[in-house]
Amino acid sequence: MSTWSTPVAEGPVRGTVAVPGSKSITNRALLLAALAGDGAMRTVAGAARSRDTTLMVDGLTALGAHTAVTPGRDGTLDVAVTAPTHLHAGRVDCGLAGTVMRFLPPAAALADGPVEFDGDPHARARPMSGVLEGLRGLGVAIGPADADRLPFTVVGRGGVAGGAVSVDASGSSQFVSGLLLSGARYDDGLAVTHRGPGAVPSLPHVDMTVTMLRTAGVTVTSESDGATPSRWAVSAGPITPADRFVVEPDLSGAAVYLAAALVTGGEVTVAGWPESTPGSPDLQPIGAVREVLEAFGGSVTVDAAGLTVRGDGRLPGVDVDLAEIGELTPTATALAMLAARDGARSRLRGVAHIRGHETDRLAALAAEGAALGARVTETDDGLVVEPSSTLAPTRPWGAYADHRMATAGALVGLVVPGLEIDDVSATTKTLPDFATDWPALVHGVGIPA
Ligand SMILES: O=C(O)C1=C[C@@H](OP(=O)(O)O)[C@@H](O)[C@H](O)C1
Ligand SMILES: C=C(OP(=O)(O)O)C(=O)O
């Protein structure tokens, strides 16, 4: 594996980028199209062209869906999915995709035989207990009997009675989303209650699930225990997504490009960003992401041109709770490490669960920061970044097979000369063209929007 030299910005980074469709929306839309159960074909347009999407398409094909992938607009994909009337036994490779390993087992429980699940070496370390406990609580057989991680086999029996289950979803919101996405196909529907030591993280992703289910004609309710929702129920009934569903650009993937404007005092626009429609919820947590970009000194606008961030080149320290948008932690840590060179201290909170992401992101960020001379300390639920006057690479920045670790390294490398990333191919999980798009943006060549 050869290292990748990150481009250094010669001045303010300015430009417009086209980011792929959101993998979270894409993989929900693909699954819902496959779960319609009516033999009809539907198209998911603007789908992310990425490893996570391919894994979902292949997983649904293994379960009996017919899928056809063609090039879509702006480098995205159009995926035609024909919903099987019965789901099949088979084998699913989850790769490192949380959306595949957490969303497909509840669908596999409907299959007419065993479905084997496995994934990458890093995937075998990711928590699965919420989904597996939930399915076992509904009477679904899973082997081995004590499995709480990949690999495992879901023994489908052609249907699931459904009902009410309690799961501990403090490790991942995807446990709740995964169960809800298939729940309408269970005989009695499904009610999921979260009971655990902490709150459900990434709640905007559960909201995304609820909104997309409702758009597909499913009745969903949620109840709060205190301030935040902790019980969701889907009624049994048909899942009827639109014939053509158009996926939005990926906000989490966009964040690193937008952050380049903050680091260099530039201006970056993500083209094709949907303007909010009064009365309809945003599918992606633009409000929470905006708050973090603003905390780091950016100004954010959304208009017909897209989503634009302007920076003034000065990065303040921040104290932010990222529980809703834990995916942004690597980007935010990179920004905090750069802010620390001017004496700023930062604290990132609310993200204990990201130890179970593609890698233990808290440990990985502390280790890669230390190798640069940054003072990054792990806390129970986040990181503290203390002032450190200079940053200089002593070895290649580790990607840990994690797309967001790789992109965080590239962000630091904008202003820290000589930074190399050990495996930039990790970015293909969600950003297939990062290794060419990033230098094109930084060098002002422009990325076709
Ligand atoms: O449902 C989804 O599409 C996602 C939910 C979140 O997972 P966690 O709740 O495990 O953080 C997020 O971090 C992940 O990238 C995508
Ligand atoms: C946590 C992430 O992905 P996954 O869907 O694999 O959980 C992520 O994209 O940051």
Radius of gyration of the chain (CA): 21
CB burial of residue 2 (10 Å; 0-12, 13-18, 19+): exposed
CB 273 within 8 A of CB 307: yes
Cβ neighbors of 146 (< 8 A, separation 6 or more) are none
CATH superfamily of 23-237: Enolpyruvate transferase domain (3.65.10.10)
> Does 98 carry a binding-site annotation?
yes
Amino acid at position 75, single letter: G
Q: DSSP letters of 207-235?
A: HHHHHHHHHTT--EEEEESSSSEEEEEE-
Least confident of 93-97, 371-375, 389-393: 389-393
Mutate to test the pocket of ligand 2, among 19, 22, 327, 402 (most ligand atoms within 8 A of CB): 327
Which sequence positions are flagged as catalytic?
327
Kindly state the tokens that stand for 171: 């490790």
Domain with CATH 3.65.10.10 in the chain: 4-20+248-442, 23-237
Quote the pLDDT of residue 447. 52
| Cα(356) to centroid(ligand 2), Å | 10
> What average pLDDT does this structure show over 64-76?
93
| Complex ipTM value | 0.99
Q: Length of the chain, please?
A: 449
Q: Is 334 in the pocket of ligand 2 (CB under 6 A)?
A: no
Q: Is 447 in the pocket of ligand 2 (CB under 6 A)?
A: no
Kindly state the tokens that stand for 297: 């000194």
Say which CATH topology domain 4-20+248-442 has.
Answer: UDP-n-acetylglucosamine1-carboxyvinyl-transferase; Chain (3.65.10)
Q: Which residues partner with 287 through β-bridges? A: none
**What is the position in ligand 1's atom list of the atom closest to the CA of 357?**
10
Identify the residues whose C-beta falls under 6 Å from ligand 1.
24, 98-99, 172-174, 177, 201-202, 205, 326-327, 353
150-188 residue pLDDT tens: 999 999 999 999 999 999 999 999 999 999 999 999 999
Q: Is 357 in the pocket of ligand 2 (CB under 6 A)?
A: yes
Any idea of the CA torsion for 435, 437, 440, 443, to the nearest 10 degrees?
-70
78-92 residue pLDDT tens: 999 999 999 999 999
310-341 residue pLDDT tens: 999 899 999 999 999 999 999 999 999 999 99
pLDDT band at 226 (very low <50, low <70, confident <90, very high): confident
Query: Rounded to the nearest 10 degrees, what angle do helices 98-108 and 23-34 cross at?
Result: 10
> What average pLDDT does this structure show over 193-213?
96
